[in-house]
Chains A and B, each alone.
Chain A
Amino acid sequence: MSQFFSPISSSTLRPVWEFIPMTEFERPFPPRRETIRQNMSYAWNRIRDRAGLEPQTRRGLYDIPTYLLEWAAPPPSSTQAMLSLDMLLEPWLLETVPFPACQVILDTPGSGIEQVVKDLARRLGWRIITPPTIEQILAGGNDWLTEVMRPEAGPFVLPRLEKCFLRHYDGFTLINRLLEWIDLTQPRCLLACDSWSWAFLDMAVQAESALSLPLVLAPFDGARLQYWLPSLARRTYRGAFVFRRADNGRLLFPRADSEPEEALRHTIPDSLDYYGDWVNVDYYLKQLAAYCRGMPGVAWAWWRRCLQVSGDLNIDMALQQEAAVDEGYTVWVQPWSQLKLIHIPPRLGTEAFFILHALLLHGEMSLDTMSMLLPFTTNQIRQTLYQLTQLEIANQYNGLWRVTLLGYPVVRQKLESEGYLVDEKF
């Protein structure tokens, strides 16, 4: 028990999901020795000119089967974030705090804010505005704007502001008119916008001057991850899984039955989860939080990548003996230092960077839209997307391309180092 818990002080309780002003966001930084290790690994990969080091797989450990993965690390639900946002905005929603009339929530990659604001809109009975089509954006969006601006329609939620513009010379008319209208009439509304689009819109149409200072999800540092990741598995299978580090056999999280009463008291269904400084953070989780830049969705994707199971009896005897006392199903967590991280090989050039930057600025895009916005032929773009898919950096869903959660940290690092506009704070 002492491995995980410090004496409880309720004064340090914080919600696991918490929204803060954008200016207060501070992404978790890696421990110093992790920075050195990462730099050496990066240099080695550049020298070897290859997509990544071969993982030093531990004998007897295999990737976790999909069905088990869905139980051990299921997709996160938006409920907690919605409850947190609801609580934060309560005075504003009750109109006891009238200004600003329009609230902006920034959506960092994989944070699922779109679903959160939609859930909140349904709970409040507000209108959910469907983004305009590309044709509407390029034509100035008269019909779409008329529908949004209906005075009798009441408050509304626009879940994807990034879908209201295009990086095209005719792609700003609609968003300019929308922002001008919001600035002039101050309608009660909630806008969610991707952090990359916000950085671009702030630069291109000075969005921040027309709207309020955005709120953003507080970064998921090691302590939050220490609490949150096992809670995903506990949602439906409480105590069914035991997570152990594959390098030293140590438990990564406390067993469900060993948690202090205080910790359990803050895990009540349909209420906001809290965590406190009783959590002693494992080094692995600090590494994970720093690499994923405090973004829960990205951390969740990498967490799933780290999970392994024992396929036979060939794993270390000492580790087996440790795990023999586990009452649940033992899942082995691959150590960060042995994980095959995604790398961008030097052969990827300007075309790939333009495509990745365009995908991040717009959240997601079809091949046709990319052909319209980028100075390359459809075939060139398709070929580059194929390369990016092979590298696990981009993928396609419902005809729309996007940067993968696994590839996001390395893509952001690369675009920043090459001088592209990025979402600075995150």
Chain B
Amino acid sequence: MLDEAAGIFRNPADIQFWAIFLIIFTTWLLIQMLRRAVAWALDIAPDRLRFYLLPLEPVLKLVIIIAALLSIGDLLIIPTEENILAAFVAVAIGLGFAFQEYLSSVVAGIVSIYERPYRPGDWVDIEGAYGEVQSLGLRSIQMVTPDDTVVTIPHSKIWGSLVYNNNNGQREHLCVSNFYLHPQHNAATVRQKLYQVAITSPYVQLKLPITVAVAERPWGTHYRVKAYPIDGRDEFRFTSDITVRGKKALENMGVEHVVAPASVAE
């Protein structure tokens, strides 16, 4: 058995370890250069191009890593069909036992590059964590929440969790600002005023529709101002702007906000 295994690998005396180190160093260098190149391109390109540039990074990184692994494999293994297959199976079984979760995430990462449930720049919600995807690694994604907290989520979550993607590769995404008002008011006037609040926000994308949805609830009237910011990254500044100015406009109109007990669900 050991003899067979030994037959797969090259004679240690023939292995060019310096070449392996060189490949590892070159791979690391290329990945660093790629990261810097994408960051530089993002800096000089107009904002609207970031959704095309950001997704390139994980794909190119994967290509570099695969090329490096193949090159190293070629240096370690005598390249016959049987040897390659045997080495692949041995590595898969060995790593599978040792790093089952890790490999699951890596495979999910490869799948995610093609299925694209999320891309850098997307605003996603995965198991309650909501934020902008900053980077896609081979094992995990990193997102930044509105509170500026970095959350690392393994790709394996896509196997069993729902992934809510707000903008799906587009620059704009729909944002909703809520107003909960006392039911005694002129709904048509309030609706028009809230529309004007949205259309006068400097953050709003004027080329996309703005709607104000109204629903009567047991505790009052629920208004939802739906609009798109020019840049999805301004989501919370946008909804805050609408909320602040909306409250002021409603206050000027004498419309009261409803105060519901904590036990009342939305």
A: residues with CB less than 8 A from B are 46-47, 49, 167-172, 200, 203-204, 346, 350, 354, 357-358, 373-375, 417-421
Q: Given the complex, which residues of B lie within 8 Å of A200, measured CB to CB?
A: 206
> B239-250 toward A: CB 8 Å interface, digit per residue (1/0)?
001001100010
Tell whether, in the assembled complex, residue A417 and residue B206 are in contact, meaning their CB atoms are under 8 Å apart.
no
| Residue from A168, A170, A374 whose CB has the most chain B CB atoms within 10 Å | A170
Measured between C-beta atoms, what is the minimum distance from B209 to chain A in Å? Answer: 11
B206-A167 in contact (CB<8A):
no
Cα distance A357–B43 when bound, in Å? 22
Task: Report B-chain residues with C-beta under 8 Å of the C-beta of A172.
Answer: 196
A418→B46 contact, CB < 8 A:
yes
* A interface majority secondary structure: loop
Nearest CB of B to A371, in Å: 13
- Please tell me if B262 contacts chain A, counting CB pairs below 8 Å: no
Contact assessment for B171 and A354 in the assembled complex, using a CB-CB cutoff below 8 Å: no
What A residues does B172 contact at CB under 8 A?
419
Q: Return the chain A residue nearest B248 by Cβ.
A: A169
Inside 8 A of A170's CB, which chain B residues have their CB?
Answer: 196, 249, 252
A-side contacts of B48, CB under 8 Å: 417-419
Tell me the bound Cα distance from A375 to B47 in angstroms: 21
From A169, A346, A354, contact of B202 by CB (8 A) = A354
Judged by a CB distance under 8 angstroms, whether B98 is at the interface is: no
Q: Are B193 and A350 in contact (CB under 8 A)?
A: no
Q: Interface of chain B, helix or strand or loop or mixed? A: helix
Q: Are B199 and A204 in contact (CB under 8 A)?
A: yes
Q: In the assembly, what is the distance between CA of A357 and CA of B244, in Å? A: 21
| Shortest CB distance B22–A (Å) | 31
What's the minimum C-beta distance from B206 to chain A, rounded to whole angstroms?
4
Q: List 17 A-B contacts (CB under 8 A).
A: A47-B44, A167-B200, A167-B202, A169-B196, A169-B197, A169-B200, A169-B245, A170-B196, A346-B43, A350-B231, A375-B237, A375-B241, A417-B48, A418-B46, A418-B47, A419-B48, A420-B206
Compute how far the CA of A167 lies from the CA of B202 in the bound complex, rounded to whole angstroms.
9
Query: Closest A-chain residue to B199, C-beta based?
Result: A204
B206 touches A421 (CB 8 A): yes
Contacts of B207 in A (CB 8 A): 419, 421
A169 touches B249 (CB 8 A): yes
Question: Residues of A contacting B231 with CB < 8 Å?
Answer: 350, 419
A46: chain B residues at CB < 8 Å are 44-45
Chain A: CB-nearest residue to B206: A421
